[in-house]
Amino acid sequence: MVVGRPARFTEERILDAALETVALEGVAGATVAAIAARLGAPAGSIYHRFPSRDLLLARLWIRCVHRFQEGFLDALAARDLERAAVHTPRWCREHLAEARVLLLHRPADLVARWSAELGEELAALDARTASALTAAAGDPSERERLLFALVDVPYGAVRRHLAAGKAPPLAVDALVLRACRAVLAP
């Protein structure tokens, strides 16, 4: 039996190189040539795995969402709403490059451009979070309040810092917690 050699430039390595390139050069600088140079690969190796730059960046965005959602969904499953609220600023500080990538695309844009390739995967991401929020809310009438406290407030608190290329300061955590407590108070 002949076993082929393992791929030298895996999808994960390409996505890692794309993440580094976006972090250092911005979205405009994240060309296939720049990503290939960072990886030390021919551009053809990237096109072998990703038919276009846009699809590569979309896949990177989806990977970042998966990584972000892990801690958020864990906190919701544990019914630890305060941990869920501060997950966003904490994760953004620990994963600044990935957090900035999440600002690149909006899910609606990705679905419109890549509905055949990504539509089901994006819908599954949304469904996972929606289901966890609904379960954490318990009462369906509380879902909107929970969404505001755990998603809207933390996202708003980190967005301007990420847009400026900076991690949200530690003080943001305390502010998010105060807002969360106020919104969720009976």
In this predicted structure, what is the pLDDT of residue 2? Answer: 55
Mutual orientation of helices 53-77 and 81-94 as an angle, nearest 10°? Answer: 140
* In the predicted structure, residue 41 carries a pLDDT above the cut 90: yes
Domain boundaries, the chain: 8-50, 61-184
In this predicted structure, what is the pLDDT of residue 105? Answer: 63
Q: What angle do CA 55, 60, 61 make, to 5 degrees?
A: 95
Mutual orientation of helices 153-163 and 171-184 as an angle, nearest 10°? Answer: 160
In this predicted structure, what is the pLDDT of residue 54? Answer: 86
Which structure tokens are listed for 74? Answer: 């864990």
Write down the mean pLDDT value for the chain: 90
CATH T-level assignment (fold) for domain 8-50: Arc Repressor Mutant, subunit A (1.10.10)
SS (H, E, C) 131-155: HHHHHHHCCHHHHHHHHHHHHHHHH
Rounded to whole angstroms, what are the CA distances from 84 to 17, 106, 123, 125, 148? 30, 22, 21, 17, 12
In this predicted structure, what is the pLDDT of residue 172? Answer: 98
Percent of the chain past pLDDT 70, that is, above it, reads 90
Q: What is the pLDDT of residues 129-139, one digit of tens each?
A: 999 999 999 88
Mean pLDDT calculated for residue range 10-23: 94
Mean pLDDT calculated for residue range 7-29: 90
Mean pLDDT calculated for residue range 142-167: 94
In this predicted structure, what is the pLDDT of residue 110? Answer: 56
Q: What is the pLDDT of residues 43-72, one digit of tens each?
A: 999 999 999 888 898 899 899 999 999 999
In this predicted structure, what is the pLDDT of residue 6? Answer: 61
Q: What is the pLDDT of residues 71-116, one digit of tens each?
A: 999 999 999 999 999 999 999 999 999 998 887 666 666 556 766 7
Mean pLDDT calculated for residue range 143-158: 96
Based on C-alpha coordinates, what's the Rg of the chain? 19
In this predicted structure, what is the pLDDT of residue 146? Answer: 95
In this predicted structure, what is the pLDDT of residue 91? Answer: 98
